A = this chain, B = another copy of it.
Amino acid sequence: MKDFIMAMKALSDPNRVKIIKMLQHKSMCVCEIKAALNLPQPSVSKHLKILEKAGFVSSQKDGLWVNYYLSNGSSTPYAAALLGNLRHWLKDDPEIAGLVEKIPFLNREELCG
């Protein structure tokens, strides 16, 4: 039950849902997410930590950057199933669509430099 509640709470915040929807298209570092959502960096880090603990995302260091990407099923069954649903859910949400359109133009070197 505890894991299930943690998963639901992780998805109860629009910014965290937006992060997941963006990561469906490519793995991103903190500063890219920060730029896309226009949020302060510590806020992004905190959201990512919540998503990570709930099993939705994983991370990998790449030098000074940390790349975040969607977890592959092995974490918790709840996160895995919900990530599957979220593949098509909210596809037509205008706010999400707007974000996704901008993803190709995010330039990590430029944003963080």
A interface residues with partner B (beta carbon < 8 Å): 1, 4-5, 8-9, 11-14, 17, 77-78, 81, 85, 89-90, 93, 95-96
B9 and A12 contacting across the interface, CB-CB below 8 Å: yes
| Complex CA distance for A81 and B89, rounded to whole angstroms | 11
- Nearest chain B CB to A97's CB is how many angstroms away? 11
Cβ–Cβ contact A8 & B11, under 8 A: yes
CB-CB < 8 A to A1: which residues of B?
14, 17, 90, 93, 95-96
Q: Is the interface of A mostly helix, strand, loop or mixed?
A: helix
Q: A88 to chain B: closest CB distance in Å?
A: 10
Shortest Cβ gap from A101 to chain B (Å): 16
Give A94 to B4 CA distance when docked, in angstroms.
Answer: 14
Q: Which residues of B contact A93 (CB under 8 A)?
A: 1
